[in-house]
Amino acid sequence: MSTPVELRRLTTPQDLFQAAAEEVIRSATDAVAQRGRFTIALSGGSTPRNLYTLIAANASASLPWDRMFFFWSDERHVPPDDPESNYGMARDTLLSKVAIPPANIFPIPAENPDASAAAEIYEQTLRKFFAVGPGEFPRFDLILLGMGPDGHTASLFPETSALQEKSRLVVANWVEKLKASRITFTLPVLNAARCVAFLVSGADKAAVLHEVLEGDSPAEKYPSKLVRPSEGKLIWFVDRAAASELSAAA
């Protein structure tokens, strides 16, 4: 069964964040109604900052925060107070502004000087929380992702070792061009989700978005192409600038 792909074209970045916020609220409300809890993995980078700010400002009253559980799909190898920290950004723009129990928040322990150890610890955190054993993968209700101009997503960069991972949930991934390690969910975790939502905004993403959605280059060169939830939904929230090179039919 091929993954249903929904392309949501919005006009402005603010329209994109509004539509994405509505998707988070709808997904959270449905998950809690059906399964008693909502599990979400947040993305980092700059794009989701306005989404988190919008949810904190407008939706905090309408969400069942005590039944919502927050994880991260990747992290830079820095402590939580570092300006580069994805956890730090989400804490400052959303989690510190809403009534979520601290026990419901699961940051990647990227302060650990050993990135591989941090990845292993986080894998065990996921396995315990989702009660999954070897060969099994956690099924998130919603995973938010961004995409870099090179087609990377989470910290799955082109031609890096993490792309080959088939059994681990979380790995440390050395990224030569950044001369840094990142800690990232693996593709099996992304593709086990009930829903994956990409947020892509800005003209600097137009060429790569065209390639990922309409191009025929090998997927390893554009890792976002490899994100195809096997029994889930894939939504692309894109604004007009990012969609400027897509064919009208896309």
In the bound complex, what is the minimum distance in angstroms from residue 138's beta carbon to ligand 6PG?
Answer: 18
In the bound complex, what is the minimum distance in angstroms from residue 28's beta carbon to ligand 6PG?
Answer: 21
Residues found near ligand 6PG in the complex (CB under 6 A): 43-47, 74, 76, 86, 146-148, 152-155
Cβ burial 179-192 (10 Å sphere, 16+ → b, else e): eebbbbbbbbbbbb
Q: Which residues pair with 71 in a beta bridge?
A: 41
Pick between residue 138 and residue 148 the one whose CB is nearest to ligand 6PG: 148
Instruction: Please report where in the chains the tokens 């960069």 appear, as a residue.
Output: 157
DSSP annotation of 151 reads S
Pick between residue 151 and residue 232 the one whose CB is nearest to ligand 6PG: 151
Cα–Cα–Cα angle for 2, 5, 8, rounded to 5 degrees:
175
In the bound complex, what is the minimum distance in angstroms from residue 102's beta carbon to ligand 6PG?
Answer: 23
Cβ-Cβ contacts under 8 Å for 81 (sequence gap 6 or more):
88
- Cα torsion angle, 40, 45, 47, 50, sign: positive
Which single residue brings its beta carbon nearest to ligand 6PG? 146
Pick between residue 76 and residue 194 the one whose CB is nearest to ligand 6PG: 76
Instruction: Please report where in the chains the tokens 């990647």 appear, as a residue.
Output: 108
In the bound complex, what is the minimum distance in angstroms from residue 246's beta carbon to ligand 6PG?
Answer: 18
- CA–CA gap between residue 131 and residue 124 (Å, rounded): 10
Pick between residue 17 and residue 67 the one whose CB is nearest to ligand 6PG: 17
In the bound complex, what is the minimum distance in angstroms from residue 152's beta carbon to ligand 6PG?
Answer: 6
In the bound complex, what is the minimum distance in angstroms from residue 132's beta carbon to ligand 6PG?
Answer: 23
Cβ-Cβ contacts under 8 Å for 32 (sequence gap 6 or more):
38, 64, 67, 68
Pick between residue 89 and residue 100 the one whose CB is nearest to ligand 6PG: 89
Pick between residue 31 and residue 154 the one whose CB is nearest to ligand 6PG: 154
